[in-house]
Amino acid sequence: MGDIEGDEKRAVSPEEMYDAKHSLDADALKLAEMGYAQDMKRNFSVWSVLGVGFSLTNSWFGISAALVTGINSGGPLLIIYGIIIICLISICVGISLSELASALPNAGGQYFWANELAPKRYANFASYLTGWFAWAGSIFTSASVALAMGSALVGCYQLAHPDLVIQPWMTFVGYQITNIFCFFFNTYGKVLPTIAQTTLYVSLISFFVILVTVPATAPTHQHAKFVFATFINGTGWKENGIAFIVGLVNTNWAFACLDCATHMAEEVGRPEKMIPIAIMGTVAIGFTTSWFYSVSMFFSIVGDFSEIAATATYVPILELFYRALQNKGGAIFLEAMIIATGFGCLIASHTWQSRLCWSFARDRGIPGHQWLSQVHPKLDVPLYAHFVSCVIVAAVGCLYLGSYTAFNSMVTACIVLLYVSYSIPVVCLLVKGRNNIKHGPFWLGPIGLFANCVLLCWTLFTLVMYSFPFTMPVAASNMNYVSAVYGVVVIIMATDWLVRGRKSYRGQGSRREEAEEVVRRESISAVP
């Protein structure tokens, strides 16, 4: 959109400039006033944005994948009631994000909000930290989804070939294949809205088919006491409360990444209204599907619970399907539906992480920003940002070769890093004063304040408690390495800030100085 070559072709009168400015698309003009050009086309509807948001969060799929470890950290009681606890927390998170997205709709999401709301002296640093935490969280989200898919693919093969003993490298190969396969779906912008809506329908259809098929075919069913009142502590922790908390991380993962829709703000019309609908709709659909799915699956368990947890496939939900259907082909077919849903989840995660990288690079927050901030003119996607993000996801997969609990560490990093990225702009909002900003259409007053406080308290809780070892006694192979992950992320951020970021980062001061020029360029391009 670019340059001001129009001035050289013919003079633009003040009257024409005024008319052009007022004929600009309202969303593009609002974005220009923030200091950004409308580089991405607004191809998404509210349904396709909801499709991206739900496809990524995809709570019932998250429960299926989280059973890999969560099934031993509390059993049915943890999952059934954990979903309710996390849903209530997620409502508060969703309200906090929706208020900010409605007031300040921008693809930068939380890092942009932090820059606008923080005291001027600290605005750039607060925004820079937020952007890095958010992008790192998105990388570990994609890694955790890809690892779940790799495990599911290898598990299906093992079920069909019982003599196979699964080795870490097999899952690692499945991880890389999944990451590469899903990469190509984000390389052409025009098809992304269709893909997003399709994956939403695939998820809901898969949910319905599994919800009906498994309990209908199971030869026996568990009693209500087992489903609603059975706590299983297979973690090695003597304190059941600690076992519950370390298991809660898996349920929490099923409601992670609620900021996804905010980063589509420059690809949907009227984002100040559409983004909050997508965020809160994601929470509502997520709770409904995940809770009823969990209840249905636990009622359908056939045989001993411990045998399902210790399955040779390393995929408990697949073993549950097999025991209920008494047929390997049927079990693999149902797991294939979960895998298809997972592919949609990873595609949405790639969309999300690439938009985070691209938007942050526009403000020179990342090394190589001059390339990462580009949008491919024909493909209408930030191709470089997408490629680099996926390469980093591929590298993170190497963690699994060194630790069987890498999945939990990835999940924990995904959750906590994102919560921290949400909390920084919320802290800035509270310091500035909730009534000292221009409110958007979605603003809940005292309810929003309560939601902000819950988000901040929960972030502190997860930062400490989710760092505990998942099993006892602790060994190198089962240790929770998430603290090391935090350390690596902080070292990278600190080094880049000191060497490059503090000098080149484009904060609110620079953006506001450039905003008039951006509006002028947009206005000139609108002159017929």
Q: What is the CA radius of gyration of the chain?
A: 23
Q: What is the pLDDT of residue 4?
A: 36
Query: Mapping DSSP to helix (H, G, I), strand (E, B) and coil, where does residue 312 land?
Result: coil
Q: What is the pLDDT of residue 404?
A: 65
Measured distance CA(183)–CA(225) in Å, rounded: 44
| Distance, C-alpha 233 to centroid of its chain | 29
Measured distance CA(268)–CA(49) in Å, rounded: 8
Query: Which CATH code is given to the segment(s) 42-500?
Result: 1.20.1740.10
Q: Which residue's entry shows tokens 């799929």?
A: 61
- Round to the nearest angstrom and report the end-to-end CA distance of the chain: 15
Q: What is the mean pLDDT of each run of 10 residues along the chain (528 residues)?
A: 38 40 59 68 70 74 74 83 94 96 89 92 92 93 91 95 92 95 88 83 92 94 91 84 86 85 80 89 89 92 83 91 94 95 90 90 91 89 94 91 73 90 96 93 95 97 89 78 88 94 81 62 53
Q: What is the pLDDT of residue 88?
A: 96
Q: Does residue 443 contact residue 102 with C-beta atoms inside 8 Å? A: yes
Q: Specify burial of residue 461 (Cβ count, 10 A radius: 0-12, 13-18, 19+).
A: middle
Pairs from 176-179 (Cβ < 8 Å, separation ≥ 24): 176/146, 176/150, 176/394, 176/397, 177/150, 177/153, 178/146, 178/149, 178/150, 178/153, 178/342, 178/343, 178/346, 179/142, 179/146, 179/346, 179/390, 179/393, 179/394, 179/397
Whole-prediction pTM value? 0.87
Neighbours of 140 (CB within 10 A): 28
Measured distance CA(197)–CA(202) in Å, rounded: 9
**DSSP one-letter string for 129-153:** HHHHHHHHHHHHHHHHHHHHHHHHH
Q: Does residue 143 contact residue 134 with C-beta atoms inside 8 Å? A: no
Cα–Cα distances (Å) from 206 to 200, 211, 288, 301, 434, in that order, read 10, 8, 14, 19, 42
Q: What is the pLDDT of residues 135-152, one digit of tens each?
A: 999 999 999 899 999 999
Neighbours of 291 (CB within 10 A): 19
Q: What is the pLDDT of residue 352?
A: 87
Query: Mapping DSSP to helix (H, G, I), strand (E, B) and coil, where does residue 5 land?
Result: coil
Q: What is the pLDDT of residue 12?
A: 37
Among 358, 357, 361, 363, which Cα is nearest to 508's?
A: 363
